[in-house]
A and B are shown apart, each in its own frame.
Chain A
Amino acid sequence: MKKADPRVKLFWVLLCTTGVLVFSRPFWVLGIALFTLAGTLSFGVDLQSLLQRLRRFLPLLVVISLLHLLFVQTGEALVFIRGYQVITSGGIIRGVITLVRFFVILCSAAVMGNENIRRVLAALTKLRIPYLFSFMLMIALRFIPSFQSSFSDAIIALQLRGVDLNKLSFRRKIRMYGDLLLPVVADAVVKSRQLAIVMEARGFGAFDKRTSYLEVRMTAWDWIVTGALFTLGAAAFGYYFF
């Protein structure tokens, strides 16, 4: 499965992300999460690197889930403070579902991030997506690690100026992240402009069609997996909605 055609992986990503966004019954969402995890590992993503990736996003995921937990007031009231219902069964379910949705999206990103960019571009071209659009999409995805690295460098530099993050109040921390985010975004914009100039200087888009030595081909195994995914997806959506 590690060497599966990128189109198989894209179809799997489409299936998992659509499923997790469309389904709202808790057991179905958990089922999709298990299916996604199994797929992620089968497509060759290392479990340790996946956990590291998840750990980085954990604070954000917890905050978003907590917001759902506190602000969704449906179902049975479970916790009251001074007569006001604070936590409800609906809130817990929505919190967990949101967490799982992010998990599926991060797993999908890990699978596609593990794939060779040129193979993905070749696969998208085979799917008749204009090269210009697929190239832009890939470049945008490749910007994420660069963005992370700039932000992480800024945080390290700030700490090496003697700022102990543990001693900052929550309010000051929020202010700090806000202050750091703007220049990092500005840096990404500058880099994207430079990239556009470099690409034009190399003659990008000079011809209507672009040739490539690399060709991706669906093997018999790829067709079998795609067929199985299609059948499974159709059955799941059919059973859920009808």
Chain B
Amino acid sequence: MISAIALLDLAFHYGRGNFTLFCPSLDFSLGELSLITGSNGSGKTTLSKLMSGILKPQQGEVRMFGKTASSLRLGEIGSQVGYLFQDPSRQLFAGTMWKEMTFADDLLGKEQTSSAERASSLLERFDLLALKDRSIYYLSGGEKQRLALCTILMGGARFLILDEPTVGLDRQNRRILYGIIDDLLAEGRGLAVITHEDELIERYPEARRIKVENGQVLP
């Protein structure tokens, strides 16, 4: 398996407060699903932000597809590693669903036809194409989450980190999400999912489990 993210003996603490996260060496590969579990405030989101390069560790090293993360800019990381926020509203900012999908490509001056084709194909796959002209303010929680995932995939991410993706979703939307996870794994992408949802944990008995307890990552 191809290594996507490698965490090498990390230690991280925020500027203020006493919380420190310690993480022994861990490797996340493409085609693999890792479930990161732990109680509230244990450091799961901090770990996921270290994995995505949003936070930089004070000790140790994060490597992404063989490169040291500290030498990469977030924009470079984003083309390989995607991050779904716990509240997807925080990562949606364009007026309509369609503008949201093409926002990054427009900004980068990419060719419009190919961008539109990719956006259509992703929206169709995530059952959102009929809503493409809808304002993002009128989307349900599940739709916002799927749209946020689509925008990440538009960027070309091969490894995705999902921060508590089942929070606030009803049974139907959870099923849709599981289907998406299955598809992404089948495509060979890597996934790290932060969760304390028993249903999700039970659905993927083969998945790798990583526990975070009081700032200590237990592989």
Q: How far is the CA of A157 from the CA of B92 in the complex (A)?
A: 8
Q: Is the CB of A167 within 8 A of B75?
A: yes
For residue B104, CB closer than 8 A to chain A, the reply is yes
In the assembled complex, how far is the CB of residue B167 from the closest CB belonging to chain A, in whole angstroms?
A: 17
Q: Is the CB of B52 within 8 A of A161?
A: no
For residue B130, CB closer than 8 A to chain A, the reply is no
For residue B81, CB closer than 8 A to chain A, the reply is yes
Q: How far is the CA of A180 from the CA of B79 in the complex (A)?
A: 20
Q: A153-B85, A172-B107 are in contact. Are A160 and B90 (CB under 8 A)?
A: no
Instruction: Type the 1/0 row for B46-72, where 1 means its CB is closer than 8 Å to any CB of A.
Output: 000000101000000000000000000
Residue of A49, A153, A157, A176 near B107 (CB, 8 A) is A176
Q: Contacts of B82 on A, CB cut-off 8 Å?
A: 160-161
Residue of A49, A172, A175, A179 near B93 (CB, 8 A) is A179
Q: Is the CB of A160 within 8 A of B52?
A: yes
Q: Is the CB of A163 within 8 A of B93?
A: no
Q: Is the CB of B156 within 8 A of A162?
A: yes
Q: A161-B78, A162-B79 are in contact. Are A179 and B94 (CB under 8 A)?
A: yes
Instruction: Type the 1/0 row for B73-85, where 1 means its CB is closer than 8 Å to any CB of A.
Output: 1111111011101
A contacts with B: majority SS: helix
Instruction: Type the 1/0 row for A128-172, where 1 means its CB is closer than 8 Å to any CB of B.
Output: 000000000000000000000010011011111111111110001
Q: Is the CB of A161 within 8 A of B151?
A: yes
Q: Contacts of A154 on B, CB cut-off 8 Å?
A: 90-91, 93
Closest chain B residue to A48 by CB distance?
B15
Q: How far is the CA of A7 from the CA of B161 in the complex (A)?
A: 48
User: Contact residue range for chain B?
Assistant: 20 to 34
Q: Is the CB of A162 within 8 A of B107?
A: no
- Mark out the residues of chain B between 147 and 170 whose CB falls within 8 Å of any chain A CB in the assembled complex: 151-152, 154-157
Q: Contacts of B126 on A, CB cut-off 8 Å?
A: none
For residue B1, CB closer than 8 A to chain A, the reply is no
Q: Is the CB of A160 within 8 A of B78?
A: yes
Q: Contacts of B81 on A, CB cut-off 8 Å?
A: 160
Q: How far is the CA of A176 from the CA of B93 in the complex (A)?
A: 11
Q: Contacts of B90 on A, CB cut-off 8 Å?
A: 150, 153-154, 157
Q: Contacts of B94 on A, CB cut-off 8 Å?
A: 179, 183
Q: Contacts of B151 on A, CB cut-off 8 Å?
A: 161
In the assembled complex, how far is the CB of residue A57 from the closest CB belonging to chain B, in whole angstroms?
A: 18
For residue A92, CB closer than 8 A to chain B, the reply is no
Contact residues of A with B, CB < 8 Å?
49, 150, 153-154, 156-168, 172, 175-176, 179-180, 183-184, 186-187
18 contacts between A and B (CB under 8 A): A49-B15, A157-B93, A160-B82, A160-B155, A161-B82, A162-B79, A162-B108, A163-B78, A164-B73, A164-B75, A164-B76, A165-B73, A168-B107, A172-B107, A175-B107, A179-B94, A179-B103, A180-B93
